[in-house]
Amino acid sequence: MPEDVTELVRKAPLSFLGTVTRLGDTRLASVPVDDRTAVVQVTQVLHAPDAFKRLAGSEVTVQLSANAAPPAVGDTAAFFTDGIAYGEGLAVKEVGRLPAETVQPHVSHAARTADAMPFSALQRDIQDADMVSHAAEADAVVVGVVTGLQQAGERAADERISEHAPEWWVAQLDVSHVESGELTPGRISVLYPNSRDFRWYDAPKPQASQEGMWFLHTTEGALAEWAPFQILHPDDYQPAHRLETLQAARR
């Protein structure tokens, strides 16, 4: 069964409308060429990281998926891709492909609104759905402001020293609203990894006086002596105004 647009946007960091100009060719010498290598002229970027939002008008090398019939020269489609190489050009691998008319409603909607890109609204919907799902997995969801930060005490008994050590810190939150969980408003301690190591880089790093919505998870093992809850997932912090979105989704 073909994947839908939402599934493909979740899986692919870059998508665009484009026309195949050459098959068995490449724009980058470093990319091997076979019968599933195509050069595609980008007509419109649908969603992309900031560095690739201005690809319209350029040619991109696409390593076509083995799971779909290759397009013909002159065919136009919506390509959903992930990066392979970037230098004097861009090379990507195909994650999925849809007929151009499938994404046209998104293109038309963006043209009528202030959305920066055709899939901007869809990406917001995905973010909202992910937030609601993540909130359901949390042991508590609260709104509060950071009133203090301090490094955690001596290493817990079950924490190993390594180059990837999390460097635990404790944030003091003044909780003004409890959306879910066995808590009451007031002060609470929350453990978080302050390390910038790649294993912990995306974990929230509370800042002094920062207000927000926090998704708390029960601290397990010896680490619980420092704080009853911890935040580890990138989505464990949300701007406070996102509470309205969460509440609306739960109604």
Please indicate, yes or no, whether residues 108 and 217 belong to a single structural domain of this protein. Answer: no
Q: 47 with 14: CB under 8 angstroms?
A: yes
Please indicate, yes or no, whether residues 81 and 171 belong to a single structural domain of this protein. Answer: no
In a domain, 163, yes or no: yes
Please indicate, yes or no, whether residues 12 and 100 belong to a single structural domain of this protein. Answer: yes
In a domain, 161, yes or no: yes
Question: What is residue 162's predicted lDDT score, i.e. its pLDDT?
Answer: 64
Residue 244: Cβ within 10 Å count: 9
Q: Which of 128, 162, 195 is the last residue of a domain?
A: 128
Q: Which helix (H) or strand (E) holds 123?
A: helix 120-137
In a domain, 104, yes or no: yes
In a domain, 133, yes or no: no
Question: What is residue 161's predicted lDDT score, i.e. its pLDDT?
Answer: 60
Please indicate, yes or no, whether residues 74 and 144 belong to a single structural domain of this protein. Answer: no
CATH of the domain at 39: 2.40.50.320
* Strand-strand pairing, 59-63 and 90-99: parallel
Two structure tokens written together for 106: 């998104």
Please indicate, yes or no, whether residues 115 and 196 belong to a single structural domain of this protein. Answer: no
Question: What is residue 154's predicted lDDT score, i.e. its pLDDT?
Answer: 61
* pLDDT by position in tens, the chain (length 251): 357 999 999 999 999 999 999 999 999 888 889 999 999 999 999 999 999 999 999 999 999 999 999 999 999 999 999 999 988 789 999 999 999 999 999 999 999 998 999 999 999 999 999 999 999 999 999 999 999 999 997 654 455 566 679 999 999 999 999 999 999 999 999 999 999 999 999 999 999 999 999 999 999 999 999 999 999 999 999 999 999 999 999 88
For the chain, how many structural domains are there in total? Answer: 2
The closest alpha carbon to 137, from 202, 68, 241, 233, belongs to 233
C-alpha distance across the termini of the chain, in Å: 32
Collect all residues with Cβ–Cβ distance below 8 Å to 230 and sequence separation of at least 6: 190, 191, 192, 216, 217, 218, 219, 223
Please indicate, yes or no, whether residues 221 and 146 belong to a single structural domain of this protein. Answer: yes
Please indicate, yes or no, whether residues 142 and 181 belong to a single structural domain of this protein. Answer: yes
Q: How far apart are CA 81 and CA 91, in angstroms?
A: 9
Two structure tokens written together for 176: 């003004």
Q: How far apart are CA 116 and CA 121, in angstroms?
A: 9
Q: Give the residue numbers spanning the domain of 195.
A: 138-250
Q: Which of 71, 94, 128 is the last residue of a domain?
A: 128
Q: Which of 91, 107, 128 is the last residue of a domain?
A: 128
In the structure, how many helices (H) and strands (E) does the chain have? 4, 11
Please indicate, yes or no, whether residues 159 and 102 belong to a single structural domain of this protein. Answer: no
Q: CA-CA distances (angstroms) from residue 235 to 132, 140, 149?
A: 10, 13, 20
